[in-house]
Amino acid sequence: MNILVTGGFGYIGSQVVPELARRGHTVDIAARSVPEHFASLAQQHAFRQWDIREAWRGASPARYDLLVHLAAANDVDCVDAALALQVNALGTRHALEFCRAHAVPAIIYVSTFQVYGVWHGTVTDDTPPAPANDYGVTHWFAEEYVRMYGRTGGPDHVILR
């Protein structure tokens, strides 16, 4: 498959990209910039500069079968509520619009367990979301964007927490 990974130089993305490539997929990385310590990873995969806070401009650089959406503001950055909304919620909407505009048939969105808020005990598929901070609520909002696009002709989707 041809796969685009947003946030491919992040904590999770820097592990996912090489694993996808090891499994035989062609993997491109979309990120704001290439951190110096990931220069070798950037040399092994096509780098697509994209600040997820903005809509994609122009034509798709390739035909993708899947977008793995990992770009997000972390829980420390989310003390800035505006940044949390721009990156986690609106950024996810931009990723979905990219999929729709460029016929990417599927997206995997990686969310967080923090959509459950402060929780004690076992979390199941029936546990209701109850975010307790901007990090959790913006990921929950992003999940809702993914579901909405799924209901309205957007890409097939999987949400991981």
Helix %, strand %, coil % for the chain, to 5? 40, 20, 40
In this prediction, residue 120 carries a pLDDT of 81
Q: What average pLDDT does range 129-149 have in this prediction? A: 96
In this prediction, residue 119 carries a pLDDT of 74
Write the pLDDT tens digit of every residue in 42-75: 899 999 999 999 999 989 999 999 999 999 998 8
pLDDT band at 39 (very low <50, low <70, confident <90, very high): confident
Q: Are 50 and 30 in contact (CB under 8 A)?
A: yes
Round to whole Å and give the CA distance between 34 and 116.
Answer: 32
Write the pLDDT tens digit of every residue in 4-37: 999 999 999 999 999 999 999 999 999 999 988 8
In this prediction, residue 134 carries a pLDDT of 94
Q: Are 56 and 6 in contact (CB under 8 A)?
A: no
Helix pair angle (134-151, 91-101), 10° resolution = 20
In this prediction, residue 125 carries a pLDDT of 80
Q: What average pLDDT does range 136-152 have in this prediction? A: 97
Write the pLDDT tens digit of every residue in 76-123: 888 899 999 999 999 999 999 999 999 999 999 999 999 999 878 898
In this prediction, residue 151 carries a pLDDT of 97
